[in-house]
């Protein structure tokens, strides 16, 4: 059993946890996620790109009035990957002392 390396990086795990807390189909704005995670825009963008490249996060760019806005949400593939990641982590933690 292997933990998903895309999710396992600390910053990407924090992003994935935050997005998984949203109801399926809901999204959050980039600035709001940045504020919640207390991350710089550049750092958050870098980790979102890796999650997006893996198909775990959907990025939607739009405009509200004349202001560009980016919304983020966990995809079905991302939710499945996160569920598998947490199940594998629980299994690893549960078998820690059974050698």
How many domains in the chain?
Answer: 1
Q: What is the CATH number of the domain that holds 70?
A: 1.10.10.10
Residue 15 lies in a domain: yes
Q: What is the mean pLDDT of the chain?
A: 93
Residue 69 lies in a domain: yes
Q: What percent of the chain clears pLDDT 70, i.e. is strictly above it? A: 95
Range of the domain at 33: 5-90
Residue 26 lies in a domain: yes
Dihedral sign (CA 36, 58, 17, 54) = negative
Residue 51 · residue 6 · CB < 8 Å: yes
The pLDDT value recorded for residue 98 is 52
The pLDDT value recorded for residue 2 is 84
Residue 62 lies in a domain: yes
| Tens digit of each residue's pLDDT (9 = 90 or more) over 43-87 | 999 999 999 999 999 999 999 889 999 999 999 999 999 999 999
| Tens digit of each residue's pLDDT (9 = 90 or more) over 9-48 | 999 999 999 999 999 999 999 999 999 999 999 999 999 9
Residue 59 lies in a domain: yes
The pLDDT value recorded for residue 1 is 73
* pTM, two decimal places: 0.89
Contacts of 17 (CB under 8 A, 6+ apart): 82
């Amino acid at each position: 059993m292997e933990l998903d390396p895309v999710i396992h990086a600390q910053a990407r795990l924090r992003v994935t946890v935050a997005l998984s807390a949203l109801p399926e189909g809901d999204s959050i704005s980039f600035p709001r996620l940045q504020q919640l995670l207390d991350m710089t825009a550049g750092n958050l963008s870098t980790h979102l790109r890796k999650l997006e490249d893996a198909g775990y996060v959907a990025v939607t760019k739009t405009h509200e009035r004349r202001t560009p806005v980016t919304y983020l949400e966990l995809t079905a593939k991302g939710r499945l990957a996160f569920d598998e990641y947490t199940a594998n982590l629980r299994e690893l933690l549960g078998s820690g002392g059974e050698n």
